[in-house]
Amino acid sequence: MFITVIFLISSSNAAIIDFEPDYGYAPDIDGEIDRSKKEWENASKEVINLLGSSPTDKGIPIKLWVMQNGSNLYISVQFDLENHQPQEFIAILISNSEATSNESFVDAKILQFTDLGIGRDNYNYFDYYMVNEKLFRDTEFNGEAAAKLDDNEIIYEFRIPVNNSDDDNDVFLDFGETYAFKIVYGEFAEYPASFKKSNIVLIDIEYPPKEKENEWILIHNILCVIIFSGLGGLFAFYTYKIIFIKKKIRRVKE
């Protein structure tokens, strides 16, 4: 009973997931996952629920993948729906800190389909900044996004710059810091009124991995030097012995 109660409390509180993305090769932002190229292979992967405002809302379970390299953060959102809406979209709202209050989200990246029923790659990518929960179009676009629908499964892919944005309207994602990200699902192009379901995660922006000298390689190299030096010494010694013996034999013959 104790374990059950603890589990129910954790579920009801919907504990925020903290991603520590691994470094990996940059995927192509095209709405497809090419497994032959090992795209997203190193991504940190979780399943979360995008929930509406109603307490009885069952939500939309999504697969959320997060990966990083030295200059970009990559986020993939994948889910199945029986009926996708023509103007469906996914928005990534970014806080300037770990704060998860609505007012703390100041940056928004949105991929919006214009008519999913007509063209499955008929979409637009928008970059907004937010003031008091209102969205304003950013004059400078940063990052990119793409999506593709395959039967009922849809894949959204986002690339967001890390540690290299000079746009004051974007959150500067700094190495070693943690930021709150809100993943939002919506069904028509009127923000934020069209925000229907969402959930918040924390993402740690990791420092680039340092190139460490492999100790075993160093030991291997030292051993090779010692062994081959020893063998060289033995070869020189036996060569000297052979020459010395030849001279002795020559003297004996004389």
How does pLDDT run across 201-252, given as a tens digit for each residue? 999 999 998 765 455 666 777 887 888 788 777 777 777 778 767 766 766 6
Among the CATH numbers 3.30.70.360, 3.40.50.720, 2.30.29.30, 2.60.40.1190, which is that of 14-204? Answer: 2.60.40.1190
Contact status, residue 155 vs residue 78, Cβ threshold 8 Å? yes
Indicate the range of 113-127, 163-177, 240-254 predicted with least confidence. Answer: 240-254
- CA-CA distance, 245 to 184, in Å (whole number)? 89
Can you say whether residue 40 is alpha, beta or left, with left for phi > 0 and alpha for psi between -120 and 50 degrees?
Answer: left
Measuring CA to CA, how many Å separate 12 from each of 5, 6, 7, 15?
Answer: 10, 10, 9, 8
What are the sequence ranges of the domains in the chain?
Answer: 14-204, 214-254
Interval 14-45: pLDDT, tens: 578 999 999 999 999 999 999 899 999 999 99
Asked if residue 67 has pLDDT above 50, the reply is: yes
**pLDDT (average), residues 155-173:** 91
**Per-residue pLDDT band at 151 (split at 50, 70, 90):** confident
Distance CA 242, CA 137 (A): 88
Instruction: Give the pTM.
Output: 0.77
Residue type, 77: V
Tell which phi-psi region holds residue 104, choosing left (phi > 0), alpha (psi between -120 and 50) or beta. alpha
Contact indicator for 92, 142 with CB cutoff of 8 Å: no
Q: Phi-psi region for residue 71, left (φ > 0), alpha (ψ -120 to 50) or beta?
A: alpha
